[in-house]
Amino acid sequence: MSATQGLDLQKVQKIRKGALLLGLIGVIAMAFVTASKGNPAFHEGIEAVGLGLIVICIVGRAWCSLYIGGRKKAEIVDRGPYSVSRNPLYVFSFMGAFG
């Protein structure tokens, strides 16, 4: 890869990160200015389940990342979260996205 390709890739990555940041800010802003209609207890329950799934996602992904550490290139990791799933990072990411 040449130096100009590396610079182009960095520029594209900066644009992607900026677009993602703007989108995230937009979603957060929408959450503050919108209100739900219907049963408030049901809404609060759904919100609590979603928040719980997001917390599980964050903790689970941190556990997986810390558990595998620098061993993934040296050995096949088949203990801890990797004994339950072949790729627990995907499992926890899916839970977070669902939340």
pLDDT the model gives residue 2: 60
| pLDDT, average across residues 2-16 | 74
Number of domains the chain contains: 2
48 and 88 both lie in a single domain: yes
56 versus 3: the higher-pLDDT residue is: 56
28 and 70 both lie in a single domain: no
Spatial neighbors of 81 by CB under 8 A, at least 6 apart, are 60, 63, 64, 67, 88
pLDDT in tens, 18-62: 888 898 898 888 877 877 677 778 888 888 899 999 999 999 999
| pLDDT, average across residues 68-88 | 81
Amino acid in the structure at residue 63: W
29 and 74 both lie in a single domain: no
| pLDDT, average across residues 6-14 | 78
Tokens of 39: 């049963």
63 and 18 both lie in a single domain: no
Instruction: Name the residue range of residue 11's domain.
Output: 1-34
71 and 48 both lie in a single domain: yes
25 and 58 both lie in a single domain: no
24 and 66 both lie in a single domain: no
Tokens of 90: 């995907």
Q: At 79, is the secondary structure helix, strand, or coil?
A: coil
13 versus 59: the higher-pLDDT residue is: 59
Q: What is the pTM of this model?
A: 0.59
